[in-house]
Amino acid sequence: MTVLEDIVAGVREDLAEREAAVPLDALKERAQRQPGAKAALTALGGGQDAVTVIAEVKRSSPSKGALADIADPAGLAADYEAGGASTISVLTERRRFGGSLEDLAAVRSRVDVPVLRKDFVVTPYQVWEARAYGADLVLLIVAALEQAALTSLVERVHSLGMTALVEAHDRTEAQRAVDAGAQIVGINARNLHTLQVERGTFSKVVDVIPPGVLKVAESGVRGPYDVLDYARAGADVVLVGEALVTQGQPRQAVADMVAAGNHPAVRAVRP
């Protein structure tokens, strides 16, 4: 069993418990009481001469274990927003990442920028959960889904007014993301088999994604210079987690990356 398969198996077990506790109809009622989802594509600045930042609330990971004791995820998200983050990503997977839907709701209540539910979404129920707890974007991982299921989930996310961030790890997966109707494609440099970061992944895959689809560089962003490197490779957005939660000044760290994304050197390489 691969790391991804093991994680998804745990996700399905936890999901079964939630489905037993909260019927889908009740979840839909909660979702329908939410304000409309925020415009993620606008917030992330598609077509502008800058690279924007998605900042992540992340307690732990399968590759590094515990990263940070985040007692106040909403407070951390507010720091990210103050630093200039365009979107906040919230891990909601419990077993490997220490997250929860309550974290998502807390962040949504505190910030004005769009919020991404980052999890291993494999069923429509989880999409309804995302909307019910205030998400504006939903992560969908190509490697975890058959193509028909991926396309269906993209359509469901969009039908609820949210935006799907569809994550790929290679050229084949990136093409599948595009074929599924993704408006935002993330290219994750972390190898799912070894959990190592291979920073050249983005540049090897990005040309598969057509103009008009936002390109997000995921993993391997340690500081402003990595933002510049990804910008030169064609990224529109960077998603940053570990580098923000493992040092003591998250607001300043985000601000430094946002400044790098607005650097004249970035504008010079934008199409």
Q: How do residues 30-66 score in pLDDT, each as one tens digit?
A: 999 999 999 999 999 855 689 999 999 998 878 777 7
The total number of residues written for the chain in this structure: 271
pLDDT band at 21 (very low <50, low <70, confident <90, very high): very high
Determine the pLDDT at residue 86.
97
User: pTM, whole model, 2 decimals?
Assistant: 0.95
**Residue 86 is encoded by which pair of tokens?**
């365009």
pLDDT band at 7 (very low <50, low <70, confident <90, very high): very high
Count of alpha carbons within 13 Å of 194, Cβ hemisphere only?
7
For residues 166 and 154, the answer to whether their CB atoms sit within 8 Å is yes
**Helix, strand, coil percentages in the chain from 3-state DSSP, rounded to 5:** 45, 15, 35
Crossing angle of the two packed helices 124-132 and 24-33, in degrees rounded to 10: 40
Q: How do residues 181-237 score in pLDDT, each as one tens digit?
A: 999 999 999 887 778 888 899 999 999 999 999 999 999 898 999 999 999 999 999
Could you give the CA distance from residue 89 to residue 119 in angstroms, rounded to a whole number?
Answer: 10
Determine the pLDDT at residue 53.
97
**Residue 31 is encoded by which pair of tokens?**
């979702």
Could you give the CA distance from residue 270 to residue 203 in angstroms, rounded to a whole number?
Answer: 15
Average pLDDT, the chain: 92
Map residue 152 onto helix, strand or coil. helix
Determine the pLDDT at residue 29.
97
Determine the pLDDT at residue 150.
98
Determine the pLDDT at residue 24.
97
Q: Which residues are catalytic?
A: 56, 58, 118, 167, 188, 218-219
Residue 190 DSSP code: B
CA distances from 176 to 42, 163, 182, 185 (A): 24, 17, 9, 10
pLDDT band at 266 (very low <50, low <70, confident <90, very high): low
pLDDT band at 244 (very low <50, low <70, confident <90, very high): confident
The pLDDT of residue 109 is above 90: yes
For residues 68 and 246, the answer to whether their CB atoms sit within 8 Å is yes
pLDDT band at 265 (very low <50, low <70, confident <90, very high): low
Count of alpha carbons within 13 Å of 229, Cβ hemisphere only?
15
